[in-house]
Chain A
Amino acid sequence: QVQLQQWGASLLKPSQTLSLTCAVTGMSVSGYYWTWIRQSPGKGLEWIGEMDHSAGDKYNPSLRSRVSFSFDTSRSQFSLRLTSVTAADTGIYYCARAVRVVVNTGDSLYEYSLMDVWGKGTTVIVSS
């Protein structure tokens, strides 16, 4: 069964480091772009970034200085680290699998992606 199972610390104090891991089961880890998204209370979804082994990882500029990704191929797991957390980092964090599709219309060439498999989310609360 294609699944992403995620875990990590749920309660952090300000200035600590958020660390989450997502395990990939039932599918190959190759050929996909492993992604992190979050949702703060009362707000919409926020794209944190994605792992791109060929072209380099992509990050949301608003979080770039504090975010890092890692991938453990042997365990089929990928991880998110977010340093120096504040209350504004409170929310539900999701991992997801992204697929990219290249479109060639003849007049233009572009690429879109889609996130078709998601983890169930990890609630992270930052509070002193």
Chain B
Amino acid sequence: DAGVTQSPTHLIKTRGQQVTLRCSPKSGHDTVSWYQQALGQGPQFIFQYYEEEERQRGNFPDRFSGHQFPNYSSELNVNALLLGDSALYLCASSFLGTAYGYTFGSGTRLTVV
């Protein structure tokens, strides 16, 4: 039973660059939510994708964008990287656009230098 798969696991980027993170949801799930977890903090909601549309967005700038594909997988793109974007980026999958029963991936650790 495949859980949530995220890639890559670690990434180092230079300030100003762009990055793309990828997520494959748990089998049977059709909704992907992205969260940013700074060191020592709880996850913060970036946005949710359901039926290939962004359904809800947290308090993140437009530099953060995403996409969901017909197979329910998703990408998170961050442009013009800042040092403060360094964090663990978590993908959570669920069903029917809800926040119930999230299954989280192990995350992508992004370091901006």
Q: Please indicate whether A and B come from the same complex rather than being unrelated chains.
A: no
Interface residues of A (CB under 8 A from B): none
Interface residues of B (CB under 8 A from A): none
